[in-house]
Amino acid sequence: MSLNSSISEYYGGKSIFITGATGFLGKILIEKLLYSCPDVGNIYILIREKKEMLPEVFNRVKADCPDNLKKIVVVKGDITEFKLGLNSKDLHMLQEKVSIVFHFAATLKFNEPLSVAMKVNYEGTDEVLRVSNSMKNIEVFVYMSTIFSNTDHERSTVIEELYPSPKHVDEVYKMILENDPNECFNPKLLGDRPNTYTFSKSMAENLVADRRGALPTIIIRPSVVTSCINEPIQGWIANWMGPTPILTLFGKGLIRCLYGKSNYNFEIIPADYVVNLTLIAVAKHDRSKELKIYHSCSTADNPLTIGDTSKFVAMESVKQKFNRFLKNDLLAMDYFVLKEDDNTNITNWSLPVAWLT
């Protein structure tokens, strides 16, 4: 039996609950389940308000297996509310039918006030766990974290294990109450963590470990998630986050230089790789009581440096011209280095843009 068929069979007949279903990874997860696991049960998605759920990412499902779209069941709720704000009917339905929970919902803003980041990423996770633990047939709970949740220590490698919580939760909320609730950076609280996003995700990881009880649990830590490399559409992306705006503005000629250490790795991972790893991890876990943590990153096996990225973007911005861009006849067709600062080891890369000939 092939790996693909065995995974598809695992999901056969299983009903699934997804938070963050309208987000980038959430849409790809739903599409992959509907297309590659045709016998999957209903997919219950938690949504605060009505949103478009059938963009171009679902084109191959609509073309090859349109009836599977009927398996998507919208459940109105909010992860920041008690028991997700579910009405009694929907809550009972999930408790009776769901086998697998994918908790993808989060605020991804780096400059989010700490009170908001904790409300969504920490308290929201607590509510999803509360509901998940009440499900009669649940087999696996999946928490989507980030590889950058544990970058506060001087370590050469982040390994697939749970790291201590940065602060006790009572201390966090005490400091939130004592300070400006809209403050997004508090050195005393965040320590060496760069922003409230990574801080709150680290807190949430420990929450999952502490309160999962006997719930079979998986934590996925992707690096910076980028566009799909293979499926469902090569190059598809649904948000304006991560490296996307930077690379786009380079291609349009609106950014000419970017400071960065050219020998440093550019830690990115295609979205479909993250989803595939997640689905395989769940099938492999299969009711295990052990907390498993998986990294979805590229550096170890296929590193890409900032310098290599600059070369690639330079070439692609010429080969595949944007429909709108700034003319820049002074730049060569290839990339070049403007300045190498020996004191700071910072390289100033200047990238060319496409222009009409």
Q: In this structure, is residue 291 part of a structural domain?
A: yes
Decide which of 283 and 182 is more confident: 283
pLDDT, mean of residues 63-84: 92
Structure tokens at 113: 């006030």
Band (51; pLDDT cuts 50, 70, 90): low
- The per-residue pLDDT for 347 is 40
Asked if 251 and 333 sit in the same domain, the reply is: yes
Among 32-46, 93-107, 180-194, 196-210, name the one with the lowest average pLDDT. Answer: 180-194
Residues 6+ apart with CB under 8 A from 330: none
Residues of the chain above pLDDT 90, percent: 48
Asked if 347 and 281 sit in the same domain, the reply is: no
Instruction: List the end-to-end C-alpha distance of the chain, in Å, as a whole number.
Output: 55
Structure tokens at 16: 């699934």
Q: What is the pLDDT of residues 139-157, one digit of tens each?
A: 999 999 999 998 876 667 8
What is the radius of gyration, based on Cα positions, of the chain?
22
DSSP states of 289-338 as a string? Answer: -S-EEEEE-STTTS--BHHHHHHHHHHHHHHS--SS----TTS-SS-EEE
Band (327; pLDDT cuts 50, 70, 90): low
Range of the domain at 197: 3-223+267-303
Query: Which DSSP letter does residue 103 get?
Result: E
Band (110; pLDDT cuts 50, 70, 90): confident
Total number of domains constituting the chain: 2
Band (185; pLDDT cuts 50, 70, 90): low
What backbone torsions phi and psi does residue 146 show, to the nearest 5 degrees? Answer: -150, 145
Q: In this structure, is residue 124 part of a structural domain?
A: yes
Q: What is the pLDDT of residues 204-245, one digit of tens each?
A: 999 999 999 999 999 999 999 999 999 999 988 887 777 888
Q: Where are the beta strands (DSSP E) in the chain?
A: 15-19, 43-47, 72-76, 98-103, 140-144, 217-222, 224-226, 257-260, 268-270, 292-296, 336-341, 346-350
Q: How many CB atoms lie within 10 A of CB 42?
A: 16
Q: What is the pLDDT of residues 265-316, one digit of tens each?
A: 888 999 999 999 999 999 998 778 889 999 999 887 888 888 888 778 777 7
Band (345; pLDDT cuts 50, 70, 90): very low
CATH label of the domain that carries residue 24: 3.40.50.720
Exposed, middle or buried by CB within 10 Å (0-12, 13-18, 19+), for 103? buried
| pLDDT higher than 60, residue 348 | no
Asked if 181 and 262 sit in the same domain, the reply is: no
Asked if 285 and 310 sit in the same domain, the reply is: no
Asked if 355 and 296 sit in the same domain, the reply is: no
| pLDDT higher than 90, residue 127 | yes
